[in-house]
Amino acid sequence: MAEFDTKLPVSGEKNHVFEACHHVVKALRASDNNLDANLRKLLSDLESHLLTFGIADTKVEDAGFSEIKERFKEAVKIIRSWETNHSTILEAGLSEVNQFFQALYDVQSVLVGFKALPIKTNQKEKDVYNQATVALDIAMLRLEKELRDVLHQHKQHVQPEYLAVSSRRKDIVYDESFVSLDDEVVVEASSHEDDQQISDFSNSDLVDPSVIPHIKAIANVMFACEYDQAFCEAFISVQREALDEYMVTLEMERFSFVDVLKMEWEDLNGAMRKWTRVIKIITQVYLASEKQLCGQILGDFESISTACLIEISKDTVLSLLNFGEAVVLRSRKPEMLERFLSMYEVSAEILVDVDNLFPDETGSFLRIAFHDLSKKLADHTTATFLKFKDAIASDESARPFHGGGIHHLTRYVMNYLKLLPEYTDTLNSLLQNIHVDDSIPEKTGEDVLPSTFSPMARHLRSIVTTLESSLERKAQLYADEALKSIFLMNNFRYMVQKVKGSELRHLFGDEWIRKHIASYQRNVTNYERSSWSSILALLTEKNDSVRTLRERCKLFSLAFDDVYKNQTHWSVPDPELRDDLHISTSVKVVQSYRGFLGRNAVRIGEKHIRYTCEDIENMLLDLFECSPSPRSLLSSRRR
């Protein structure tokens, strides 16, 4: 492909050196008006040397002035022919491209030659000079258009497969309360799967690599002719537009602060999710490719290449940063924790990429803004996490939870915690220096995994401790001791099951699990004692009269009826636990009853016995079968 520099004819080389010297002198003069006298003298000496040299040079060529004029005329004709041509020069083929650049070179030679000896020229030469300035401007304008057209036509899109992934994902819908995080919803909530794919792409080409040399040639020519500003403006505007367009395909909308603060949680959740993806794609893929493109085209002018990248990306990048800033202004609602975690995680991850994108002073404001945002997200995430515990602690109920089943707070907290192991590293770094009282302060023989003693593990256990206290308080609301035990048993069992069945087990550790199993088993015992002891005591006879025996039998039946009436409404949702409870109750009650009847049935008389052993056995199976409370009831009992 044509490069301006390589096209210099031999005779032009001298001219080139000459031009360079001339520029140096000019630049030195322009750079400092207060040159000291010696330097000024030196410069004017040099200038006069250059002038004589220039004159000598033109004198040599003077003979060929008409020849130069002919070449110039031809060059202008070529340039003019492209002025109104709407197809790109590139399309016309290599020879056309070379011809155009050669024409441009001829025009520029005239300008340089003339500028070297502005005083000693005649009118004809002046006219040529003037025509040359016009021809140059036409050529430059044409190249600017060429640049825009080539960039447009050979634009390449960044991996559309990214986009497909985003729509496949399903968002979890949180309510802004503790109620709605059901088990089923959580199943879908594994959030990291798609991030992996981004790292698989390194840079991709934003512009077809085959046209890069052509663009680079345009850049070199325009810079040499001091049309660098025009080049940069055009380049920046096309690339910026392409980035805007890409943002539209990513469906990343811009929101004002007012918008973000007013947004419904569901929408915000979606926008935050999108942001997490988009900022990664933009910094790690798109802008990395943009930087590469700038480098390929403007690599010879490094500071300009950097400045262009900043100008192209600044607007988009700042709008992404603003979204982060706005989100941080939202209140620290526990249900936002996971989104904040992933936003923070990404913001920390991309810092390396941002530092690479904008390494120098001019880009420092962007670099700093990213670092600031990441810090803010860290603080906000930590605060949200800590506030989670406060929210649990302050969750108060006025009435006992119906049926002694699994409280929605327990569900919410445990299912929430289940989401967190994905962010283990992030949480560990965020919580590193935040002290917390832990139920397992020291390493014991049972737990050997370091993860069990990580900052995150300590905090999670502490959260669950807070949950336990809250449950204890809720349990105090039950008038019935037995139901209180059922309630605690159910909830502790649920906690243990959630921990055992997930990644949480490595964090909570075996000791915690063992302690908590013991805890709910204690509640099973408590239940049996408080529910059945007094009733079973009726069945222990001490040389009773028939009347007393009949009385006992009747009292037992009444008491049993009472239990049956109550406890069939109670709930033990865990089938295994319910079976265990049925069996152990059955063993105790049926055995005692069978023994009692075996010893006393004849004396009491059949008509005085309301329940057979089989009746009791069957009825016991009806206990704790209450189906989960209907939602309407549930919601009326929030807090």
Residues that bind other proteins (CB under 8 A): 118, 126, 129-138, 140-141, 144-145, 148, 226, 229-230, 233-234, 236-237, 240-242, 244-245, 248, 253-259, 261-262, 314-315, 318-319, 322, 325-326, 329-331, 333, 365
Q: Which is nearer to other proteins, 171 or 325 (CB)?
A: 325
Q: Which residue, 116 or 626, is less far from other proteins as judged by CB?
A: 116
Neighbour-count burial of 453, counting CB atoms closer than 10 A to its CB (0-12 exposed, 13-18 middle, 19+ buried): middle
Instruction: List the one residue out of 483, 490, 488, 495 whose CA is nearest residue 472.
Output: 488
CA separation for the pair 205, 95 (Å, rounded)? 27
Instruction: Identify the CA nearest to 16 among candidates 6, 26, 30.
Output: 6
Three-state secondary structure readout of 379-426? HHHHHHHHHHHHHHHCCCCCCCCHHHCCCHHHHHHHHHHHHHHHHHHH
Is 289:158 a contact under the CB 8 Å cutoff?
Answer: yes
CB of 255 to other proteins, least distance (A): 5
Tokens representing 603? 């004396």
- Nearest approach in angstroms of CB 185 to other proteins is 24
Kindly tell me which of 236 and 427 has the beta carbon lying closer to other proteins.
Answer: 236
Cβ-proximal residues to 460 (8 Å cutoff; 6+ apart), any chain: 417, 420, 504, 507, 508
Nearer to other proteins, 233 or 615 (CB): 233
- Shortest CB 401 distance to other proteins, Å: 24
Q: Least distance to other proteins from the beta carbon of 55, Å?
A: 17
- Smallest distance, other proteins to C-beta of residue 262, A: 7
Q: Decide whether 379 or 511 has the Cβ nearer to other proteins.
A: 379
Specify the residue, 113 or 455, whose C-beta has the smaller distance to other proteins.
113
Class of residue 100 by CB neighbours under 10 A (exposed 0-12, middle 13-18, buried 19+) = buried
> Least distance in Å: CB of 235 to other proteins?
11
Name 286's Cβ contacts closer than 8 Å, sequence gap at least 6.
158, 206, 243, 246
The phi, psi pair for 240, rounded to 5°, reads -70, -40
- Give least dist CB 245 to other proteins, A: 4
Cα separation, 194 vs 162, in Å, equals 9
Minimum CB separation from other proteins for residue 624, in Å? 38
- Which lies closer to other proteins via its Cβ, residue 79 or residue 281? 79
Helix axis angle, 337-349 to 302-328, nearest 10°: 170
For residues 303 and 223, the answer to whether their CB atoms sit within 8 Å is no
Judged by CB, which is closer to other proteins: 366, or 499?
Answer: 366
CB of 265 vs other proteins, minimal distance in Å? 12
Q: Which is nearer to other proteins, 131 or 424 (CB)?
A: 131
CB atoms within 10 A of CB 318: 14
